[in-house]
Amino acid sequence: MIRKYFGTDGIRGRVGEYPITPDFVMQLGYAAGRVLAHAEHHELKEQRPTVLIGKDTRISGYMLESALQAGLCAAGVDVRLTGPMPTPAIAYLTRALRAQAGIVISASHNPYDDNGIKFFSSLGTKLPDDIEKEIEAELNAPMKVMVSANLGKVKRINDAAGRYIEFCKSTFPNDLDLRGLKIVLDCAHGATYHVAPPVFHELGAEIITIGGQPSGLNINHEAGSTHPHGLVKAVMHHQADLGIAFDGDGDRLLMVDHEGEILDGDQLLYIIAMHRQKQGQLVTGVVGTLMTNLALEHAFEKANIPFCRAKVGDRYVHELLIEKNWVLGGENSGHILCLDKHSSGDGIISALQVLHAIRESRSRLSDFRMELNLYPQVLINLKVKEKIDLDNNEAIQGAVREAEAELNGQGRVLLRPSGTEPKIRVMVEGVDSNLVKNLAEKIAEVVRIEAK
């Protein structure tokens, strides 16, 4: 069965347009509840399963949260509400509270008028494909409300933020602190606004927060990891040691050093892996994606650290890590997984791993940045109305072959459809920045013509 609704990161779309509507989301809650209520999906067969629901700061979260809990309760599932919390917090709390599943209402880095639904298993990992398919199959069945005595109940978890804050702090060494560091945090007016500042402050840092006043309409707006210019200005203005930007739901980050230079996910992953190796830890391997900069692959090769690429999407990085029994992986977008610290990608915890390296080595973030010179990489996002068969389009493939010939083994070309938006991503990477830019624009123009 091909999944109709679930993409690489749950179900996502524009609020008010199918499927991000109250009626569909209620039906989704009911279908998920029906699947979770099956005996084989939870051990406590004589009790009702419990599902945790969290959300980011979008105004539509109130509506979708109500619809979800109505559907789940109708299926006989108990619900626990956390209010606004980062996506990785729901992954942690689902596991810690022994819930059968966790649900996050978020569209991550998208604008406020988008939203989405994503699920976590009882282990705090993305829901397996086969369970998502079961939920989709249940969507075709009519809602049959349980008898009143068997309806689910809803309770709010009042200490969810405090539990998560302590969990994040526990991933930082007890014998280190952040005293003497001035850090600017950009919370993207999103779900980290009330949890990230206490984490870093309680570890000793002086904290300046921007993007920490969510209105329901300003999430990710000119803020956060997708719009780092505000963080750069704030770091320079306050003469801070570094800055950290999260996205709207807190599962990705980027950092800015004291000189105002931005470090992306590839550079941060490099810092974490190399620090561990220098401390004598065995780094069994690192997983990147098709978008990972070629310079990172070459750097790990030089350091004798095995490296391999997964499809784009943190769920695919996670799957490959589990397959290889490795713990470190990530994307250049800032999704970083440290599976020895958390079951999910977590912006706050990833930042703490970088700060661990900085404090233990007594270095500055800029020192690490200069260790890895990324190759020029141009990414062009093209909006399309309909899907294009990239692999079998001769004009597009011809343009790719020409570009690869010009790169002559000193770079890469990658074309792929976005997993979350109606876009084609054209990426060209290589040693010569001018050549890379020209080739990317040539390929993009061919894609534009073929997409008409």
Per DSSP, the residues of 5-24 read: S-BTTBEEEETTSTTSSHHH
Could you tell me the two tokens for 131?
Answer: 């369970």
pLDDT at 422: 80
- Report helix, strand or coil for 330: strand
Sorted by where each begins, the domain ranges of the chain are 11-159, 179-261, 264-346+362-374, 377-451
Could you tell me the two tokens for 321?
Answer: 């890590």
Q: How far apart are CA 415 and CA 124, in angstroms?
A: 31
Banded model confidence at residue 39, pLDDT cuts 50, 70, 90: very low
Q: Is the fold of 11-159 the same as that of 264-346+362-374?
A: yes
pLDDT at 41: 47
To the query of whether residue 363 is one of the catalytic residues in this protein, the response is no
pLDDT tens digit sequence for 414-445: 998 876 678 899 999 999 999 999 999 999 99
CB 368 within 8 A of CB 404: no
Q: Domain 179-261, what architecture?
A: 3-Layer(aba) Sandwich (3.40)
Asked if pLDDT for residue 40 goes beyond 50, the answer is no
For 264-346+362-374, CATH gives: 3.40.120.10
CB 330 within 8 A of CB 317: yes
pLDDT tens digit sequence for 246-286: 999 999 999 999 999 999 999 999 999 999 999 999 999 99
* pTM for the structure as a whole: 0.91
Contacts of 83 (CB under 8 A, 6+ apart): 54, 55, 156, 160
pLDDT at 9: 83
pLDDT tens digit sequence for 171-215: 999 999 999 999 999 999 999 999 999 999 999 999 999 999 999
- Is 130 exposed, middle or buried, given 0-12, 13-18 or 19+ CB atoms closer than 10 A? exposed
60, 108, 225, 344: the catalytic one is: 108
pLDDT tens digit sequence for 58-108: 999 999 999 999 999 999 999 999 999 999 999 999 999 999 999 999 999
Candidates 3.40.50.2000, 3.30.70.980, 3.40.50.280, 3.40.120.10; correct CATH number of 11-159? 3.40.120.10
CB 303 within 8 A of CB 270: no
Contacts of 34 (CB under 8 A, 6+ apart): 75, 138, 141
Measure the CA dihedral 320/321/325/327, to 10°. 170
Candidates 3.30.70.100, 3.30.310.50, 3.30.450.20, 1.10.260.40; correct CATH number of 377-451? 3.30.310.50
Amino acid identity, position 344: S
